[in-house]
Amino acid sequence: MLPTLQLGPLALQVPGLVLLAGLWLGLTLSERRARRIGENPGDLFNLVFIALIAGIIGARLSYAITYPSAFAANPLSLLSINPGLFDPLAGVFIGICAAAIYIYRKQLPFWSTLDALTPFFAVLAVAQGIAHFAAGSAFGTPTDLPWGINLWGATRHPTQIYEILLAAIILLAVYLIDKSQLGQTSGFTFLSFIALSSAARLFSEAFRGDSTLIGNGFRSAQIISWLVLATCLALLGRRVQLARSTEKTSQ
């Protein structure tokens, strides 16, 4: 684990650097993909930028509203880059809302835009796994398996490595899908990525030691993943049917 990198007087946050690198590389690939399908790369960049800014601000404000005592002594800590002072779910929700508003106002093609953003999401998923490994977060349950890693006083499942490997496999799969005939169907590449990511989370979540449990020990992330996976599979079937009907009509 390498949460910080000391360069003289500077202490750099490695997880943050990894995520920034993932943002840059993913956005670069998405801009290339946008050019290939005739989309405006500038619109794509603006969409990501607006969603990120809205998500970051929303995540911080949501955390401040939920835990006001964390900022009572020092209100300027609202500007802190400490990742522990964000509400990630609120940030994702607000970021998605901001992106949806931008797509609507700019009248961007919905599914094609999401397809163009898929390389960005896929690369960011790999970067997130590496960031988790560097920070020691998203840790696994204790295990006796030979590939367990020593973390937080126990030998644990290397769930961060599982996450990295699965995300890398999905990145390759998305690339191949995008190049296939099915990948030419609008929305198919993006929905395939979401479906594969949900399936991967179902697997990796079973070994997580920091899961949120609800009811009789059910993992909330797995329940959400099942719902997302089922929805994506239904939408994938619908997109393929529409593509085939359009093809028959054009003939």
Tokens standing for residue 77? 């800590």
* pLDDT score recorded for residue 250: 59
Q: Which two tokens stand for residue 143?
A: 């295990």
The values of phi and psi at residue 214, to 5°, are -130, 155
Q: Please, which residues have CB within 8 angstroms of residue 24's CB and are 6 or more apart in sequence?
A: none
Number of domains in the chain: 1
Distances (CA, A) of 58 to 51, 98, 224: 10, 10, 22
Q: Please write the tens of the pLDDT for every residue from 155-167.
A: 999 999 999 999 9
Question: pLDDT tens across 82-108, in order?
Answer: 666 788 788 889 999 999 999 999 999
Distance CA 33, CA 79 (A): 35
State the pLDDT at residue 218: 85
* Per-residue model confidence as pLDDT tens digits over 183-213: 888 899 999 999 999 999 999 999 998 888 8
Is the separation of the CB atoms in 170 and 119 below 8 Å?
no
Percent of the chain with pLDDT over 70: 95
The reply to whether 151 falls in a domain is: yes
Is 59 a member of any domain?
no
201: in domain: yes
Question: What does the alpha-carbon distance between residue 59 and residue 63 come to, in Å, rounded to a whole number?
Answer: 6
Tell me, yes or no, whether 15 lies in a domain: no
Q: How many CB atoms lie within 10 A of CB 14?
A: 18
Q: How confident is the model at residue 13 (pLDDT cuts 50, 70, 90)?
A: confident
pLDDT, greater one: 61 or 81: 61
More reliable by pLDDT, 97 or 153: 97
Q: Is residue 19 part of a domain?
A: no
pLDDT at 211: 81
Residue 155 domain boundaries: 118-243
Q: Is the pLDDT of residue 251 over 60?
A: no
Residue 98, C-beta contacts closer than 8 angstroms, at least 6 positions apart:
50, 51, 53, 54, 55
pLDDT (average), residues 234-243: 88
Does a structural domain hold residue 64?
no
List, in sequence order, every residue forming a beta bridge with 214; answer none if it has no partner: 218
- The mean per-residue pLDDT over the stretch 123-131 comes to 93
Residue 210 within any structural domain of the chain: yes
Domain assignment of residue 5, yes or no: no
